[in-house]
Structures are given as structure tokens and as C-alpha cells.
Amino acid sequence: MILEARDLYTAYGLSQVLFGVAVTVDVGQAVCLLGRNGVGKTTTLRSLIGLTPPRAGHVVFDGMDITGWAPYRVARQGIAFVPQERRLFGDLSVRENLEVARRGTRGASAWGVERVYETFPILEQLDARRAGYLSGGEQQMLAIGRALMGNPRLLILDEPSEGLAPLVVDALCEHIRALKADGMTILMAEQNLTLALALSERVYILDKGHVRFAGTVAEFEADTTLRDEYLAV
């Protein structure tokens, strides 16, 4: 197990959002948090990486208790986060966005601009383009590429498909699948069930800050009531 979070209680001021959330991720797995708008998916991810430290509970990453650590320390420990709103530098070029994210010494397996371009060939063609002029799908690939520049052992994606056209989602799905085949461990939040089920080994369903279901994709698919109760709009 590379990530184990237990009993997370997180609040924004007086507003309690998570009530005892538990999430685990094994090395090489892709795990997905599902659930409707506002159920606490982003808050769970933010609780793991110190952006919104939990009031109670524990987060253990690779055997180290990182509960409440500052986000930069969590990043240094090997967790990269691609936020829902992507947060690129719109005035910087594609290459510059990647280069500002470079971190640490470059070993043989380390990520660099060239490896990101091998993973997302479209970005190489857009090398000098300002990030602000990229399409939504291109921006999402750049945001993932930037996260990879930190050489993470766990990649966390918050709704990577949000706002993207179906064909673009398909392309993104293939890229994430290739990253996984390359050995990357992934935790994501998604509302696109097709993407989530195509990529994940295990899923969690969140509802009002509680985990209502945790299991394999096969277990999820076997219980058709889950979709109606917690996912359908």
C-alpha cells in the first residue's frame, strides 16, 4: 500500500465536509473517487496533500505519516496534484510551464521536458505556444505533464475530464492508461463514469462526506443500485 488515509474529518471553518473518509491506494493501481457535485471529492484530495489539513484522521504515504504536512513537503515526498482548475501559467509557453516545475536532480528514470513530450506528443508541437491559448484538452495534458516533472510516485488528478469534449476525453484516457502501463500509481476524482471505470482497479463512492461504497470495478458494476442512488443526476 503506497497511500493509506483513515478516518478523515475535514471542515472549512464551521462547515464540516468529511466525516471519517478512508482511502487506500496500492502501488501501480489506479483508484477513483466517484460522487455527485459537492460530496467532498476535492476536499478528500486536498486533505491528503495538506492543502486543507484534516481536523482528525491519518494520512500515511509510503510508510510515513504525512498528516497535515505542508503541501510543498508532501510534494517533495513524491505526491503530485493536478487541481480541478489546472492552474497553468497562461502567459508562459508550454515548455516554460514544464521547466518551472522541474525539481531535484535528474536520475535515469527522472521526468524531463523530453519525456513529457514523448508521453504527450501534441505538447511538443505546441512547445512555444502560450498555455493560455491551448484548448482544454491540451491544457489538461500540460497540467499532467507539469505534475510529472516533479517525479512523483503518486499522481493525483482532480476531475481530469471536466469540461472536455467526448473525443478529447477518449484521447486523455489513452494517455492516462499509458502512464499507468508505465508504472505510475494514480488516484483521481471523476464524474465521467466511463473514464473512471476504464482506468481504475478500485472505486470509492462519496456522498455527503461519507464513503458509501469501496470496492473493485467488478463489485461496483455488479451492484446497479449504486449508480441510481449516488451517481445518476
Ligand X SMILES: Nc1ncnc2c1ncn2[C@@H]1O[C@H](COP(=O)(O)OP(=O)(O)OP(=O)(O)O)[C@@H](O)[C@H]1O
Q: Select the residue whose beta carbon is closest to Mg ion and give its number.
A: 42
Collect all residues with Cβ–Cβ distance below 8 Å to 36 and sequence separation of at least 6: 191, 207, 230, 231, 233
The helix (run of H) or strand (run of E) holding residue 57 is: strand 56-61
> How much of the chain is helix, strand and coil, in % rounded to 5?
35, 25, 35
Site pattern 68..107 for ligand X (x: CB under 6 A): ----------------x-----------------------
User: Is residue 119 at the binding interface for ligand X, with CB under 6 A as the rule?
Assistant: no
User: Is residue 48 at the binding interface for ligand X, with CB under 6 A as the rule?
Assistant: no
CB of 191 to ligand X, least distance (A): 6
Q: Do 8 and 66 contact (CB within 8 A), yes or no? A: no
Q: Which does 75 bind (CB under 5 to 8 A by kind): ligand X, Mg ion, none?
A: none
Q: Which does 37 bind (CB under 5 to 8 A by kind): ligand X, Mg ion, none?
A: ligand X
* Binding residue count for Mg ion, defined by CB under 5 A: 2
Of 14 and 128, nearer to ligand X (C-beta) is: 14
Q: Which of 35, 54, 145, 160 binds ligand X (CB under 6 A)?
A: 35
The DSSP symbol for 28 reads T
Q: Cell numbers of 115, please?
A: 519525456
- What are the backbone angles phi and psi of residue 160, rounded to the nearest 5°? -60, -25
From residue 151, alpha-carbon distances to 104, 121, 133, 145, 222 in Å are 9, 19, 26, 10, 37
User: Is residue 15 at the binding interface for ligand X, with CB under 6 A as the rule?
Assistant: yes
Edge-first strand order for the sheet with 79-82 is 79-82, 154-158, 185-189, 30-34, 202-207, 210-216
Q: Which of 23, 33, 42, 94 binds Mg ion (CB under 5 A)?
A: 42
Considering only 37-45, 65-73, 118-126, 211-219, which stretch makes contact with ligand X by CB under 6 A?
A: 37-45
Considering only 42-50, 59-67, 121-129, 161-169, which stretch makes contact with Mg ion by CB under 5 A?
A: 42-50
Q: Do 130 and 88 contact (CB within 8 A), yes or no? A: no
Binding site for ligand X (CB under 6 A): 12, 15, 17, 35, 37-43, 84, 191
Binding site for Mg ion (CB under 5 A): 41-42
